[in-house]
Amino acid sequence: MTEEKTLSREALKMREFSYSPYSHFRVGAALLDKQGNIYTGCNIENSSYSPSNCAERTAFFKAVSEGIREFEAIAIAGGPEGAQELNYCPPCGVCRQVMREFCEDDFKIILVKSEEEYKVFTLGELLPQSFWADF
């Protein structure tokens, strides 16, 4: 199975763990580190909204909290609760900036509709002219 399919499958599974009682928009993510380990996450909402966390950041924060700092790719699957078919769900600006903190321009971002249907972008494509500490 290809790396993209494996990550897509994991991101789709993580949607099921989404806690999204306010938006009813479920998102799952699967993050691949440079050693081949996968860290997963889902979106977690809060009634006051600002403490909510996106699936992508959940996966990154889990990995970083375990000492991981080098990453290859992330797959993101998202859409309305109960949707029969997903659309591509790109990461929000905050998540793109978190990715920039730990990843180079060639970091792969896989937008998932299904295990078989996905698009691959680089961080450089989705966050051109970005800001980072070495700027």
- Give the catalytic positions in this structure: 56
Q: Sheet of 38-42: strands edge to edge?
A: 38-42, 25-33, 71-80, 108-112, 118-122
Name 121's Cβ contacts closer than 8 Å, sequence gap at least 6.
90, 108, 109, 111
CA of 90: how far to CAs of 1, 67, 68, 135, in Å?
Answer: 23, 26, 23, 24
